[in-house]
Amino acid sequence: MKTLGYACTSAHAPLAPFSFERRAPRANDIVMEILYCGVCHSDLHWARNDWGWTVFPAIPGHEIVGRVIEIGPDVAKYKIGDYVAVGCMVDSCQHCDQCRKDEEQLCREGNTGTYGGFDRFTKEHTLGGYSKHLVVREEFVLRMPDGLDLAKAAPLLCAGITTYSPLKTWKAGPGSRVGVIGLGGLGHMAVKLAAGMGAHVTVLSRSPDKAEDARALGAAALLVSTDDDAMAKAANGFDLIIDTVPVKHDLNPYMPLLDVDGTLVIVGQIGPVAELSTVPLILGRRRIAGSPIGGIRETQEMLDFCAEKNILPDCEMIRMDEINEAFERMEKSDVRYRFVIDMASLQVG
Ligand code: NAP
Ligand code: ZN
Give pLDDT tens digits along the chain (349 positions).
999 999 999 999 999 999 999 999 999 999 999 999 999 999 999 999 999 999 999 999 999 999 999 999 999 999 999 999 999 999 999 999 999 999 999 999 999 999 999 999 999 999 999 999 999 999 999 999 998 999 999 999 999 999 999 999 999 999 999 999 999 999 999 999 999 999 999 999 999 999 999 999 999 999 999 999 999 999 999 999 999 999 999 999 999 999 999 999 999 999 999 999 999 999 999 999 999 999 999 999 999 999 999 999 999 999 999 999 999 999 999 999 999 999 999 986 6
20 contact partners, CB below 8 Å, separation of at least 6: 2, 3, 4, 5, 7, 59, 127, 131
Which residues are near ligand 1 (CB < 6 Å)? 40-42, 45, 158-159, 162, 182-187, 205-207, 210, 244-247, 249, 267-269, 291-293, 330, 333
C-alpha of residue 146 to centroid of ligand 2, in Å? 24
The residue whose CA is least distant from atom 18 of ligand 1 is 247
Give the per-residue pLDDT at 68.
98
H/E stretch holding 264 reads strand 258-266
Distance 268 CA to ligand 1 centre (A): 6
Bond prior to 337 in cis (omega within 30° of 0): yes
Q: Which ligand is nearest to the CA of 223?
A: 1
Closest atom of ligand 1 relative to the 45 alpha carbon:
34
CA distances from 26 to 68, 100, 107, 273 (A): 15, 22, 22, 43
- Centre of ligand 2 to C-alpha 40, Å, is 5
Ligand 1 pocket check: which of 191, 222, 333 to mutate, most ligand atoms within 8 Å of Cβ? Answer: 333
Beta-strand runs (E) in 28-151: 29-38, 64-71, 83-86, 89-91, 112-113, 133-137, 142-143
Which residue of 37, 39, 40 sits with most ligand 1 atoms within 8 Å of its CB, as the best mutation to test the pocket? 40
Pick from 323, 294, 316, 270: which is nearest to 59 by CA? 323
Considering every ligand atom shown, identify the ligand nearest to the alpha carbon of residue 45 and give its number.
1
- Looking at residue 101, its amino acid is K
Ligand 2 centroid–CA 148 distance in Å is: 20
Ligand 1: residue whose CA is nearest its atom 8? 184
The torsion of the CA quartet 197, 203, 209, 215, rounded to 10 degrees, works out to 30
Q: What is the DSSP string of 184-225?
A: SHHHHHHHHHHHHTT-EEEEEES-GGGHHHHHHHT-SEEEET
Handedness of CA 97, 100, 101, 102 (dihedral sign): positive
What pLDDT is recorded for position 168? 98
pLDDT on residue 349: 60
Taking the centre of ligand 2 as the mean of its atom positions, its distance from the CA of residue 43, in whole angstroms, is 7
Q: Quick check: bond before 57 cis, omega within 30?
A: yes
The pLDDT of residue 347 is: 84
Nearest residue (CA) to ligand 1, atom 16: 245
Query: What is the per-residue pLDDT for 288?
Result: 98
Whose atoms come closest to the Cα of 269: which ligand?
1
Among 161, 231, 244, 334, residue to substitute to test ligand 1 (most atoms within 8 Å of Cβ): 244
Q: Which atom of ligand 1 lies closest to the CA of 41?
A: 25
Ligand lying closest to the C-alpha of residue 61: 2
Closest protein CA for atom 36 of ligand 1: 268
